[in-house]
Chains A and B, each alone.
Chain A
Amino acid sequence: MTNHEIPAEDLALYALGTLDPEEQKRIATHVETCASCRTELMKLRGDAALFALSAPPVAAPSRARKRLFEEIVQTAAKDKSAPKLRGSWWSVALPTLVSVALLAFGFWLIAQNGLLRHELDEARFAAAQQQAIIDQARQVMETMSAANAQRVTLVAAQTKPQPQAQTIYQRDKGRLVLVASNLEALPKNKTYELWILPANGGAPIPAGTFQPDARGNASLMMPRIPTGVEAKGFAVTVEPEGGSATPTMPIKMLGTTG
């Protein structure tokens, strides 16, 4: 897709080679320097290749195969019977070899250039896809942690909303997210603290403190925690501001895995 000086329609016509010659040149010049147009051009050519398949299928005549392979066999025979060069071998071979080597190097450079350009396009395409994923992840995080986001917890009708929290935990990466709602307001100098309850029965591991807003909502994103701890559950307690090393009873909220 193009969103600059080259209309998308012109790029499609360029792919088919059906623009007027001057326009064809103009687009060719632009495409040379525009990676997104080159990528779209490749797609349009792919579309054109598929469109080519709409030609009514007709098998090639068998004589065409015979003719082709006769020529191939003849060419191979000619190559074999080509006269050998006489005289001092190096006086003939050396300049030829040098020319061939230079020519091959030239072709190699051209081929490398094309290949690198193509690889660059692909890398840019991959980077754009990665960026889109990152942008989406960022939007999710922003939405979850936004102070002005409306948070609504649905419960059975006519039930008084209860304090509720959800944790999302990736053990192998040590990543943890908590989203809570309907939390009670805390006395001054107090904070909520989240705890990981290890599956091996070890002591609860502090996983960050958080404060509810005026509407009782809170979130905790990516606290510093150790990686690889298998959790049998999570707990929330009320602690002095700054958090504690061990939980203070009573447990305000508790959830277990599985």
Chain B
Amino acid sequence: MQVLAIDPKAEPERTSDEHMAHAGALTSSDALSDSTLIARTHARDQAAFSALYDRYSGIVYSVALRVVRDPATAEDLLHEIFMQLWRKPEQFEAARGSLGAWLAVITRNRAIDFIRRQKPQEDPEEVYLASPVDLQSEVERNTAMEKVQAVLKEMPESQRNAIQMAFFEGLTHSDIAAKTGEPLGTIKSRIRSALLAVRKAFE
């Protein structure tokens, strides 16, 4: 594995434009682990943070956009989440699961808070998750996305709709039951089964 030697103290300050150019050089080596990049971000290494941004901005933006359905708002959420990661990189630690998975959950929850017109309800430091999937490389991210799409495709339509309404629209089971005219218990078990189907696909 190639390891870049970046001394945070030796890292020159850059303008945002210089950053745009520098990011390409750093990400082309794409060998640094999330935990290394987080540690360097903690040491105020903007190049390391830039590499993290390149790695996960796609996931964060896509999830936010899917929930809020407005590019400008999704962009604001993306900005907010990465600013928070820059200010408090220590909020993420390996014990919370993989960084990509953690960001996906934080983003979705923040976006749901937005569409519910409420203040952020969750402290990211309270979010621990167990994810069997490592999303650090582009190949792994793409493979995971394809796998989830395949699981969704195989699901009965009623189950797919239930999990999508709960996850991307933040509807409660009562909302979904009222919308679909189906019993509460059925909706609950459909949502749980959908999550377990995703889990099974990655075992």
Task: Given A45-B128, A46-B130, A60-B61, check contact A12 B101 (CB 8 Å).
Answer: no
Check if A67 sits within 8 Å of B79, measured CB to CB: yes
Chain A residue numbers with a CB within 8 Å of B32 are none
Q: Contact check: which of A15, A46, A50 meets B148 at CB < 8 Å?
A: A50
Q: What 0/1 pattern do residues 24 to 59 of A give for CB contact below 8 A with B? A: 000000000000000100111111111111111111
Shortest CB-to-CB span from B82 to chain A, Å, is 6
Q: Which residue of B lies closest to A73 (CB)?
A: B16
A177 interface residue (CB < 8 Å to B): no
Contact flags B46-88 to A (C-beta < 8 A → 1, else 0): 1001100100011111110110000100010011001100100
**Residues of A with C-beta under 8 A to B188:** 7, 9-10, 12-13
Q: How far is the CB of B109 from chain A (nearest CB, A)?
A: 6
> How far apart are the CA atoms of A80 and B109 in the complex, in Å?
34
* Cβ 8 A contact of A13, one of B23, B58, B141, B166: B166
- The answer to whether B105 and A48 touch across the interface, beta carbons within 8 angstroms, is yes
B99 → A minimal CB distance (Å):
11
Q: How far is the CB of B7 from chain A (nearest CB, A)?
A: 17
A61 cross-chain contacts in B, Cβ below 8 A: 71, 75
A9/B148 contact (C-beta < 8 A), A59-B61, A60-B61, A76-B44 known: no
The answer to whether the Cβ of B20 comes within 8 Å of any Cβ in the partner chain is yes
Q: Are B148 and A73 in contact (CB under 8 A)?
A: no
Q: Name the distance in Å between B59's Cβ and chain A's nearest Cβ.
A: 7
A202 at the binding interface (Cβ < 8 Å): no
Docked complex Cα distance between A174 and B102 (Å):
48
CB neighbours (8 Å) of A52 from chain B are 59, 63, 104-105, 107-108, 167
Which residues 134-156 of B have a CB within 8 angstroms of A?
A: 141, 144-145, 148-149, 152
B-side contacts of A66, CB under 8 Å: 16-17, 20
Number of residues from B at the complex interface, CB < 8 A:
78
Interface check A215, CB cutoff 8 A? no
Size of chain A's interface in residues, with CB distance under 8 A? 50
- Contact yes or no, A12 B108, CB < 8 A: no
Classify the secondary structure of A's interface with B: helix
List the B side residues contacting A51 at CB < 8 Å.
Answer: 148, 163, 167, 194-195, 198
Q: Which residues of A contact B58 (CB under 8 A)?
A: 57-60
Q: With A and B bound together, what is the CA distance between A9 and B166 in angstroms?
A: 13
Interface residues of B in 6-39 (CB under 8 A from A): 13-17, 19-20, 23
A17 touches B145 (CB 8 A): no
Question: In the complex, A109→B166 CA distance in Å?
Answer: 35
Q: Are B132 and A71 in contact (CB under 8 A)?
A: no
Which residues of B have CB within 8 Å of A96?
Answer: none
**Bound: A9/B97 CA distance, A:** 23
Centre residue among A45, A67, A115 by max chain B CB count within 10 A = A45
Q: Bound state CA distance, A88 and B120, in angstroms?
A: 41
B95–A115 touching, CB < 8 Å? yes
Query: B53's contact among A9, A17, A19, A68, by CB below 8 Å, is which?
Result: A68
Do the beta carbons of B195 and A69 come within 8 Å of each other? no
Most interface-central of B13, B23, B195 (chain A CB within 10 A): B195
In the complex, chain B residues whose CB is within 8 Å of the CB of A111: 125
Q: In this assembly, does A161 line the interface, its C-beta being within 8 Å of a C-beta of chain B? A: no
Q: Is the CB of B97 within 8 A of A42?
A: yes
A17 to B167, CA, bound (A): 9
- Asked if A50 contacts B62 (CB within 8 A), the reply is no
Instruction: Return chain A residues, CB-CB under 8 Å to B102.
Output: 49
- B168 at interface, CB cutoff 8 A: yes
Distance A84 CA – B67 CA, assembled complex (angstroms): 45
Which residues of chain A in 207-229 are interfacial with respect to chain B, using CB atoms and an 8 Å cutoff? none
Alpha-carbon gap, A15 to B105, bound state (A): 10
> Is there a chain B Cβ closer than 8 Å to A131's Cβ?
no
User: Could you pull out 6 A-B pairs where Cβ atoms are within 8 angstroms?
Assistant: A12-B195, A18-B173, A46-B132, A57-B145, A71-B79, A73-B46
* Given A13-B188, A69-B20: 7 more A-B contacts, CB < 8 Å: A19-B173, A48-B108, A48-B195, A50-B131, A60-B58, A60-B78, A73-B13
